[in-house]
Amino acid sequence: MADDAPAAIPARMLPTLTEHNRAFWTGGGDGHLLIPWCPQCRLWVLPPGAGCPDCGGVLDARPVSGRGTVFTYTVNHQPFVPTVPVPYVIAIVQLDEQSDLRIAANIVGCEPDSVSIGLPVEVRFERHDVDDDAVFVPVFTPRSA
Ligand SMILES: [Zn+2]
């Protein structure tokens, strides 16, 4: 990522795309949260890496439901990034697919005070442009149902 780019990069911490994490960060363009999956172990793997941590096998990104619950969270009041209004919620979301499948993400679309552990949430995507790529950052919002 270029050092002179902050003016063009709003809001979130944005990733550098690699062959291993590209599906994760771009799947939101089609509305899918794509998580690396090991077909041998039948295991979802986060964060995206080179291979399965159990068998070393090749991972295949597959869509998950995008539904989960808040595992833990913190409300940030420090304006670390000038373009992001505080307070905002940074959470670890436990995805429904697997008991240890957790993703760090912002919780949006609600008052920070309304977030609690166990809150049912679902994924949304925020589009950001990084160099020549469109990156779709997963964020979560409370589930209505
Ligand atoms: Zn495996």
pLDDT of residue 110: 95
CA 25 to centroid of ligand 1, rounded, Å? 22
Structure confidence by residue, pLDDT tens digits, 97-138: 999 999 999 999 999 999 999 999 999 999 998 888 899 999
Q: Which residue has the tokens 């436990």?
A: 94
Quote the CA–CA distance of 18 and 5 in Å, as a whole number.
19
Distance CA 35, CA 128 (A): 19
Residues 6+ apart with CB under 8 A from 28: 123, 125, 127, 136, 137, 138
Q: What confidence score (pLDDT) does residue 144 get? A: 80
Q: Write down the pLDDT at residue 2.
A: 42
Task: Considering only CA atoms, give the Rg of the chain.
Answer: 16
- Ligand 1 centroid to Cα of residue 60, in Å, is 11
Give the residue from 130, 101, 125 showing the smallest Cα distance to 29. Answer: 125
CA of 99 to the centre of ligand 1 (A): 16
Cα 64 to ligand 1 centroid, rounded to whole Å: 18
Q: Which tokens sit at 38? A: 């090991």
pLDDT confidence band for 10 (50 / 70 / 90): very low
List the one residue out of 78, 54, 66, 52 whose CA is nearest residue 24.
66
Q: Phi-psi category of 68—alpha, beta or left, where left has phi over 0 and alpha has psi -120 to 50?
A: beta
- CA 52 – ligand 1 centroid, Å: 5
Cα 93 to ligand 1 centroid, rounded to whole Å: 23
